Amino acid sequence: MRLLQSVGFLPNSRMNAMRFEKLALIGCGLIGGSFALALKKAGCVQHVSGTSASLASCEAALSLGVIDEIANSSQAAVAGADLVLIAVPVFSIETVLADIAPHLSPQALVMDVGSSKSMVAEKAKSALGDQYPSFVPAHPIAGKEQHGVRHAEASLFENHKTILTPTLETRPELITLAKSVWEITGSKVSIMSPAEHDQALAAISHLPHLIAFAAVNALHSQPQRELFLDMAGPGFRDFSRIAASSPEVWLDIFLSNKEDLLSQLQAFKVALSTFEEGLLSDNSASITQLIDQASQVRKHWRLNG
């Protein structure tokens, strides 16, 4: 990896210029594609080699300028790479890491973008072996309901959080480098443990997605579903947006963070039953208090989010 002396500053004066010789992108989808585009826009990557489970995704990424070449395997993609991003479903990360481990440069920074971290960190240790200290698990909290590289954009991560979850074995200088890389994309970077990350994301992301899927399915199960959908407005649009997310991605997230998700689901059931009790007893005061409490929490988050 060649870090160049600064002759200026990147947009918003985020940090001095840096340049990677080669980015290996494993998974040419929305997140991986947007990461590559962001680094290209910042002028800090010379060459991007990409591979994906779908050849069509690779060809689209090449035609859109997201990658500069299609690698015929993950091993070929990482050969000579000083930066590696693994953007595949959570349960595929271990296999990818095991495949690329013998072919990684000793100085390469390796990151994933999975939405759950404890399982990834645990599996990575055996998969990477001696290269484990080069791995910095990452989770950019950004996305769209549309998935696929055709929806990738360089600005996807701007003003969104990215969480790094290094382990005790992670090389400190690579944690610093990973933070700088994500700041180049416009992200606001936080660092926490894998367990802390999974507990938090179960509450603020994994459970809300599960609820959105369930609510849309509940509506769809009713005979009047077409009438109901015809009458739906902005409220339903905003609430149900995340229900259009990728089944493949979210199956892996739910199962890989099952315990924390089940804990949050129990808390939601308690909250839901409190509303149900208020409705059954026509307890206006209780219902008002519950609505007001949620309203104040949401308004406060908007002021400080």
Query: Is residue 255 in a domain?
Result: yes
pLDDT for 17 equals 61
Tens digits of residue pLDDT in 248-284:
889 999 999 999 999 999 999 999 999 999 999 999 9
Mean pLDDT (whole number) for 3-19: 42
% of residues, the chain, pLDDT over 90: 88
For residues 39 and 93, membership in a common domain is answered with yes
CATH, residue 56:
3.40.50.720
DSSP code at position 154? T
Q: Is the pLDDT of residue 12 over 80?
A: no
CB atoms within 10 A of CB 139: 26
Instruction: Give the Cα separation of 46 and 29 in Å (integer).
Output: 20
For residues 179 and 202, membership in a common domain is answered with no
Higher pLDDT, 142 or 35: 35
For residues 15 and 91, membership in a common domain is answered with yes
For residues 21 and 150, membership in a common domain is answered with yes
For residues 280 and 165, membership in a common domain is answered with no
What does residue 22 show for φ and ψ, rounded to 5 degrees? -150, 125
Q: Decide which of 192, 219, 240 is a domain's last residue.
A: 192
Tens digits of residue pLDDT in 209-226:
999 999 999 999 999 999
Query: Is residue 276 in a domain?
Result: yes
For residues 245 and 119, membership in a common domain is answered with no
Q: Decide which of 192, 214, 236 is a domain's last residue.
A: 192
For residues 76 and 45, membership in a common domain is answered with yes
For residues 173 and 27, membership in a common domain is answered with yes
Alpha carbons within 13 A on the beta-carbon side of 205: 19
Instruction: Give the Cα separation of 82 and 108 in Å (integer).
Output: 4
For residues 188 and 201, membership in a common domain is answered with no
Number of domain units in the chain: 2
Instruction: Give the Cα separation of 11 and 90 in Å (integer).
Output: 32
| Residue linked to tokens 């315990």 | 259
Query: Is residue 5 in a domain?
Result: no
pLDDT for 2 equals 36
Q: Decide which of 175, 192, 209 is a domain's last residue.
A: 192
Q: Is the pLDDT of residue 21 over 90?
A: yes
For residues 170 and 205, membership in a common domain is answered with no
DSSP code at position 9? B
Instruction: Quote the mean pLDDT of the chain.
Output: 92
**Token representation of residue 170:** 């992670």
In contact, 216 and 240? CB cutoff 8 Å = yes
